[in-house]
Amino acid sequence: MTGVSPSVGALTAEFGSAILRTVVSCGDSIVYVMRERAHDVLAWLKNTPGQEFDYLTDITAVDYRDPERPLEVVYQLRSLGRKADLRVKIALDGSAPLDVDSVYDLWKGADWLEREVYDMFGVTFVGHPDLRRILMWETYGEGYPLRKDFPLRGHFSRAEQVRQALAANPEAQYSLEELSLAQAMHDLPADMTERLRRGERGLVP
């Protein structure tokens, strides 16, 4: 399906200024959207009868090599009925804090995808029910690995990375939800509760 997908025309008619620009690359049409209106655009794309992008294929982010180009959050949408694809992108320039509205309320599949983008790029998704690291351990202190300013072998030395991994507190391997469940069951040992109270869950002694 070469050429621009019909949804792009409908989108610019509907939202006008919120649609910054559209690009076609390798047969897929891409729409750049303003960050503030992104959630409305995605909700519109999902719910309007003519579009029905009911299937969220993927959420990811791209950090370009030259620092001026902003970090982009990418949504791959697909309409199973119409067999149509659309890629919605949001450019997050470095000045403002990197946060985007979560689409968990539209597609439940976005839960882990957004957590992974947060883990790898540091983009916080406002409204996400449980935003914490998913691939690295929760108290990982080296930063966001897939950023281009993050070196391939990490900031710390290998010995420091091994020490951080081996010497972490036992409660660092549990999420806050499990810790509160354990505390409700009076299972949390005293020293662990004390460290939690002081907020030293991620501290490596």
Partner 1 sequence: MTRRTVEMALSTPGLDAQGRPVSLPLGVTGGEPGQTPDEYMLLNIGPQHPATHGVLRLVVELDGEVVRRVIPHIGYLHSGFEKLGEYRQYNQIIPLTDRTDYLAPMANNVALALAVEKLMGIEITERCKVLRVIACEMSRIISHIVWLGTTGIDLGAFTPFLWSFQERERIYNLQEAWTGARLTTSLTRVGGMMADIPEGWDLALREFTQTFPSVLDEVDTMFSRNAIWCGRTQGIGAMSAEDAINYSLSGPMLRASGVDYDVRKDRPYLDYETYDFEVPVGEHGDIYDRYMVRLEEMYQSNRILQQALDRLEPGPINVDDPRVILPPKSRAMSDMEAMIFHFKQVMEGIKPPAGEVYFGAENPKGELGYYFVSDGTAKPVRWRIRPPAFINLAALPALCEGALLADVIAINASVDIVMGEIDR
Partner 2 sequence: MLQAYIPLLLVVAFVVVNAVIMLGLSHWLSSSRPTGVKLQPYESGMPVLGDARERFSVKFYLVAMLFIIFDIEVVFLFPWAVAFNQLPAQSGLLLVAMLIFLAVLTAGFIYAWKRGALEWS
Partner 3 sequence: MVVTPPAGGVELSAVSPNWVTTRLDFLSNWARSNSLWPMPFGTACCAIEFMATAASRFDLARFGMERMSYSPRQADVLICAGRLPFKLAPVIRRIWDQMPQPKWSISMGACASTGGIFDNYAMVQGIDTIIPVDVYVPGCPPRPEGLVYGIMLLQKKIKGESFTDPDLRQEHLLDDVGMFLPPERVDELSEPFGNSIHQTRSG
Task: Provide the binding-site residues for partner 3, judged by CB under 8 A.
Answer: 65, 136-137, 142, 145, 148, 150-154, 157-168, 173, 204-205
Give me the residues paired with residue 101 across strands. 126
Query: Which of 173, 175, 191, 194: binder of partner 2 (CB under 8 A)?
Result: 173
Closest to partner 1 by CB, 9 vs 27, is: 27
Beta strands in the chain (DSSP E): 19-25, 28-33, 55-62, 71-79, 84-92, 99-101, 124-126
- The torsion defined by the Cα of 102, 108, 109 and 112, in degrees rounded to 10, comes to 60
Q: Minimal distance in Å, beta carbon 13 to partner 1? A: 25
**Residue selected from 15, 40, 174, 201 as contacting partner 2 according to rule CB under 8 A:** 174
DSSP helix, strand, coil percent of the chain (3-state; round to 5): 30, 20, 45
In the complex, minimum distance from the CB of residue 176 to partner 2, in angstroms, rounded to a whole number: 13
Give the number of residues in contact with partner 1, rule: CB under 8 A. Answer: 65
Residue with smaller CB distance to partner 1, 58 or 191: 58
CA 125 to chain centre: 6
Measure the CA–CA gap between 177 and 21, rounded to whole angstroms. 42
Tell me how far, at minimum, the Cβ of 134 lies from partner 3, in Å: 11
Tokens linked to 84: 């149509």
Of 9-17, 91-99, 101-109, 155-163: span binding partner 1 (CB under 8 A):
101-109
